[in-house]
Amino acid sequence: MTLHFTQKYGRMVAQPWPYGTCFHRIIHRICETGTSSTIKRCQVARAKKEIRKEIKRKLTEQNDTQRLRKSRLIQKKLFQTSEFKKAKYVMFYLAREEEVGTAEMIARAQKIGKKILVPVVSMRKMRMSVSLVKNIQKDLQPGPYGILQPKAKNIRVIDPSRIDLILVPGIAFDRQGNRLGRGKGYYDKFLGSLPDDIPRFGLAYQFQVLKRLPVFSHDVAVTKVIAA
């Protein structure tokens, strides 16, 4: 399944929602006694938390064979899009075990001449930059949150404006292109800083595509979701 969207992207900077245990009682009190806008924000945050929990459960229930089969179907659909065919610089995410796999996509994309870009996360600065990767087998190591990213000596920073296509991970997407991430705000902040005309595709398993997601004004949508 492929979903297309034409909406504009928000420009506000995403801020992580304080779910830490030290804030639990304070947040609960604010949610129960705050203004209508605060209560609404709390309701959205709670709904997001429940969706993340349910989708993460479904992600872990899939076996490796199912993930590989679906990831290859998504790869086939991706490579058939005009945006991918025209793109020179493609930004891939480096998938967690349970996510739509990108390792085979990256290898094949390199073989057909695409320039591979990947995220570089700085926890200290709470931001994400982009690096060119030449050797996907040798240039990477586990980074923040256990996700692969280039070793310090192999980081080759690229101006994000040179990106022709961005592939975006997510816990869930909806039919309007809204995206639910893991709650840290890295992708919302990064995508919100880019020109609107850079295509951004969400890659997802079918059960990750919902009818409607709860969103904040700073959440940034994708232009297309490719699912299987």
Domain boundaries, the chain: 2-227
Amino acid type, 77 = K
Residues 81-115 as b/e (b if ≥16 CB within 10 A, e otherwise) read: bebbeebebbbbbbbeeebbbbeebbeebbeeebb
DSSP H/E element including 63: none
In sequence order, what are the beta bridge partners of 161?
Answer: none
User: Hey, what are 57's tokens?
Assistant: 């459960």
Indicate if the pLDDT at residue 221 is higher than 90: yes
| pLDDT tens track for 99-121 | 999 999 999 999 999 999 999 99
The label of the residue with tokens 């982009």 reads: 130
Indicate if the pLDDT at residue 24 is higher than 50: no
Q: What is the distance between the alpha carbons of residues 179 and 187, in angstroms, rounded to a whole number?
A: 10
The pLDDT of residue 43 is 87
2-227: CATH topology is Rossmann fold (3.40.50)
Phi, psi of 122 (to 5 degrees): -110, 110
Q: Quick one: what percent of the chain has pLDDT higher than 70?
A: 83
CA distances from 130 to 90, 125, 143, 213 (A): 11, 14, 14, 28
CB 4 within 8 A of CB 199: no
Stretch 2-18: mean pLDDT: 38
Residues 117-128 as b/e (b if ≥16 CB within 10 A, e otherwise) read: bbbbbeeeeeeb
User: Is 1 or 211 the better-scoring residue by pLDDT?
Assistant: 211
8-state DSSP, 52: H
Rounded to the nearest integer, the mean pLDDT of the chain is: 86
Stretch 114-139: mean pLDDT: 93
Indicate if the pLDDT at residue 23 is higher than 50: no
Residue 103: name the closest of 112, 94, 111, 114 by CA: 94
